[in-house]
Amino acid sequence: QLQASGGGLVQAGGSLRLSCAASGWTFSSYAMGWFRQAPGKEREFVATISRSSGTTYYANSVKGRFTISRDNAKNTVYLQMNSLKPEDTAVYYCAASRSTSPRETFYDYWGQGTQVTVSS
């Protein structure tokens, strides 16, 4: 199970930190990713992090503004989002994968999503 939290309403230029807590499986054995889905659009890749945090990848649209991290002792992955823009508005999902990948098909477990709304 994956439980995402931390979403909310923020003004453009602001920051939010999303958290995603895992339970029921070995968190440290999985790479983790964040995806998002805006209204009327397909879900898209945001960021991913390897099992040991040694490797991270970001979508070009968030590179330099978002940071993915994880704490294996707490079974939690985070997404720090800075300099938020209205186009970042979406439901954000965390997911677990056997490898770091931007492709949804590689992900086995998905959280329920948390809404992020950025006002202009």
What is the per-residue DSSP string for 44-85? EEEEEE-TTS--EEE-TTTTTTEEEEEETTTTEEEEEE-S--
pLDDT in tens, 7-57: 999 999 999 999 999 998 899 999 999 999 999 999 999 999 999 988 999
pLDDT in tens, 46-77: 999 999 988 999 999 999 999 999 999 999 99
* Angle at CA of residue 27, ends 60 and 47, nearest 5°: 5
CA distances from 17 to 8, 13, 40, 67, 116 (A): 10, 14, 24, 9, 10
